[in-house]
């Protein structure tokens, strides 16, 4: 996987990482075939010309320019070793995002190994290790960093667009060739970004959480049925200059915080794992159960605490070696079906529903709807060999991004049609005409009935009410309907200790996902007082963004 382009979807991630004999044999065959055509040095050269070095630098040439403002041939030994050390974990060793301590430790390790391999002398290694990590960060022109200050918040969409572009084979054989083609190809590109909606999005976000906050509050809006990304906003300034940033909320870290300036893809579409999304993941269990033919009336008695079938390590939510989750309040105790279980977000109902359909089916549904597993822990549990035992999955313990979640919920809004997230409406080449890469990539992922029933359950959350059943006397997102003022569905979500709070809301025309979390310290509680912010941000954005659009109604299941 490392010597190939980044995966474009969850299926590719699994295909490239699952521990099977078939995959190992395939990789051996590929390696043998490559070595017959290319030397090891040539293979390494090709890899380094496409590898990710952080700060959206793909390839050693781009990394050399961005970190040191010079070409690779002009790098000192210490500078070259710094770049070589980045490839393993660009975010962890990024010398531009902290005081350089981690980058220096990694660089010195590289220099030591070079001496051990007789690539340099011990004296050269010692001399280079004595040098501090000195950067001369270059902000490339015509890049996302250079977006005009008055529309700097557009830069996160620009970053998503670049990440999408470098995966498109129509523009070159590798990421560097594709970026060169973007800069020199003379393309006329119409993006999917809606300037008015984007302005509304950044205004709504900034009203609730300023750039001076260590909490990141963001929102992504997607059009159901096309995958067009209409807005991406977060309370940050897009810049590599972190010299004036606030202190990291992690007391053990020497790095500055990610506020107000960062180029980290906090909204998705990049290399960051994201944030746990809590009860919004119940959507995947709901979809999996409906897809398996289970009716909306499927009922379970949901006690305050439930002892599940899932084996768990000792901990506060473990009873006799089994995972035993609890509900958010004792008032949820009782018999529930899919309408009331989803509308009231009853944990012990959804654990039983997950048991009935199979946790592996819920995990697979998330993958079918576009989620990728980016952390080692999530990849381990999502492995098909183990996913049937991943009981906590339904309560949102995996990391994700607002881009992924908005797009996943858009499937329900689009009557079961899944579309890849798309940042462009059209791309026209001076010599090739319209480029097909800009066309929506959509297919039916679940049946119309499955999608409409899932939407009916999600209508209970917002207070809009279900068409096919009784939502009960209250819901977790009852404030949504009075704000939006038109048919709306969605799901609230908070994690343990409110480390992150989410809301995903949708109408037939738009799907929006908002979150609040601490990207510097994911386990830092945001506080119960912040849980309303994603709900209100999405609700206001759907209201204002659709103000001039006709009211659209959900189809009955």
Region 314-327: what's the mean pLDDT?
93
Higher pLDDT residue, 140 or 208? 208
Q: Is residue 120 part of a domain?
A: no
Residue 168 CB partners (closer than 8 Å, separation 6+): 178, 437
Query: In the Cβ-directed half-sphere of 470, how many Cα atoms lie within 13 Å?
Result: 5
Please check the confidence at residue 46 and state whether its pLDDT lies above 90.
no
Q: Is the predicted pLDDT of residue 7 greater than 60, yes or no?
A: no
Q: Which pLDDT tens digit goes with each residue over 150-169?
A: 888 999 999 999 999 999 99
Domain carrying residue 226: 149-269+401-446+506-557
Is residue 265 domain-resident? Answer: yes
The token pair at 45 is 């050269």
* Helices and strands per DSSP (H, E), number in the chain: 20, 18
**Alpha carbon 129 to its chain's center:** 37
> Which CATH number belongs to the domain containing residue 547 in this structure?
3.40.710.10
Q: Is 525 a domain residue? A: yes
Predicted local distance difference test score (pLDDT) of residue 159: 94
Residues in the chain: 557
Is pLDDT at 183 greater than 90 in this prediction? no
Residue 16 pLDDT > 60, yes or no? Answer: no
Residue 454: inside a domain, yes or no?
no
Q: How far is CA 247 from the centre of its chain?
A: 24
pLDDT grade for 1, boundaries at 50, 70 and 90? very low
Number of domains, the chain:
1
Give the residue, 391 or 13, on which the prediction is more confident: 391
Domain assignment present for residue 194? The answer is yes
Residue 363 placed within a domain: no
What are 322's two structure tokens? 């089994």
How does 17-26 read in b/e, with b if 16+ C-beta sit within 10 Å?
A: eeeeeeeeee
User: Angle at Cα 86 formed by Cα 83 and Cα 91, nearest 5°?
Assistant: 135
The pTM score is 0.79
pLDDT in tens, 258-308: 999 999 999 998 778 899 999 999 999 999 999 999 999 999 999 999 999
d(CA 170, CA 166): 10
H/E run at residue 458: helix 448-462
Whether 134 shows a pLDDT value over 80: the answer reads yes
Alpha-carbon dihedral sign for residues 385, 390, 393, 397 = negative
- Sorted by sequence, the CB contacts under 8 Å of residue 272 that are 6+ apart come out as 91, 264, 265, 266, 374, 401, 519
In a domain, 472, yes or no: no
Per-residue pLDDT of 478-506, as tens digits, reads 999 999 999 999 999 999 888 999 999 99
Q: Which range has the worst mean pLDDT, 272-281, 419-428, 437-446, 504-513?
A: 272-281
Residue 436 belongs to some domain of the structure: yes
Q: How far apart are CA 506 and CA 178, in angstroms?
A: 34
442-444/417-419 β-pairing: antiparallel
């Amino acid at each position: 996987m490392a010597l190939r382009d980044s995966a474009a979807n969850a299926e590719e991630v699994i295909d490239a990482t699952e521990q099977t004999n078939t995959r190992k044999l395939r990789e051996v065959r590929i390696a043998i075939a490559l070595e017959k055509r290319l030397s090891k040095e040539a293979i390494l050269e090709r890899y380094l010309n496409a590898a990710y070095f952080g700060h959206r630098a793909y390839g050693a040439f781009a990394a050399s320019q961005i970190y040191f403002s010079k070409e690779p041939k002009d790098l000192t030994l210490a500078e070259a070793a710094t770049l070589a050390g980045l490839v393993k974990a660009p975010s962890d060793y990024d010398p531009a995002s902290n005081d350089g301590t981690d980058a220096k430790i990694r660089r010195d390790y590289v220099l030591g190994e070079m001496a051990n391999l007789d690539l340099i002398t011990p004296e050269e290694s010692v001399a280079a290790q004595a040098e501090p990590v000195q950067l001369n960060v270059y902000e490339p022109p015509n890049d996302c960093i250079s977006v005009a200050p008055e529309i700097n918040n557009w830069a996160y969409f620009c970053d998503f667009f670049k990440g999408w572009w470098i995966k498109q084979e129509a523009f070159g054989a590798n990421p560097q060739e594709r970026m060169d083609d973007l800069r020199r190809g003379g393309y006329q590109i119409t993006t999917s970004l809606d300037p008015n909606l984007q302005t509304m999005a950044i205004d709504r976000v900034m009203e609730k959480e300023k750039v001076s906050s260590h909490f990141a509050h963001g929102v992504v809006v997607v059009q159901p049925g096309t995958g067009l990304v209409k807005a991406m906003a977060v309370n940050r300034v897009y810049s590599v200059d972190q010299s004036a940033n606030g202190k990291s909320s992690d007391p053990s870290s020497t790095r500055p915080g990610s506020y107000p300036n960062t180029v980290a893809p906090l909204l998705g579409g990049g290399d960051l794992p994201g944030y746990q999304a809590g009860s919004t993941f119940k959507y995947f269990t709901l979809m999996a159960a409906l897809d398996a033919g289970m009716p909306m009336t499927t009922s379970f008695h949901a006690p305050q605490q439930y002892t599940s079938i899932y084996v768990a390590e000792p901990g506060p939510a473990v009873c006799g070696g089994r995972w035993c989750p609890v509900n958010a309040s004792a008032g949820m105790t009782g018999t529930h079906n899919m309408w009331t279980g989803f509308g009231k977000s009853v944990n012990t109902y959804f654990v039983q529903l997950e048991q009935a359909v199979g946790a592996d089916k819920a995990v697979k549904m998330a993958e079918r709807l576009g989620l990728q597993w980016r952390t080692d822990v999530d990849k381990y549990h999502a492995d098909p060999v183990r996913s049937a035992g991943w009981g906590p999955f339904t309560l949102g313990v995996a990391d994700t991004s607002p881009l992924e979640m908005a797009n996943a919920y858009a499937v329900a809004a689009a009557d079961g049609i899944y579309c890849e997230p798309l940042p462009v409406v059209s791309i026209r080449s001076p010599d090739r005409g319209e480029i097909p890469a800009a066309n929506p990539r959509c297919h039916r992922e679940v049946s119309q009935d499955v999608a409409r029933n899932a939407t009916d359950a999600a209508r209970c959350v917002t207070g809009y009410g279900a068409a096919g059943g009784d939502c009960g006397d209250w819901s977790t997102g009852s404030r949504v309907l009075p704000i939006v003022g038109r048919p709306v569905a969605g799901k609230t979500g908070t994690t343990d200790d409110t480390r992150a709070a989410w809301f995903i809301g949708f109408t037939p025309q738009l799907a929006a996902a908002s979150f609040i979390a601490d990207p510097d310290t994911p386990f830092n509680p945001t506080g119960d007082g912040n849980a309303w912010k994603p709900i209100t941000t999405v609700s206001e954005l759907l209201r204002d963004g659709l103000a001039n659009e006709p009211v659209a109604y959900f189809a009955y299941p």
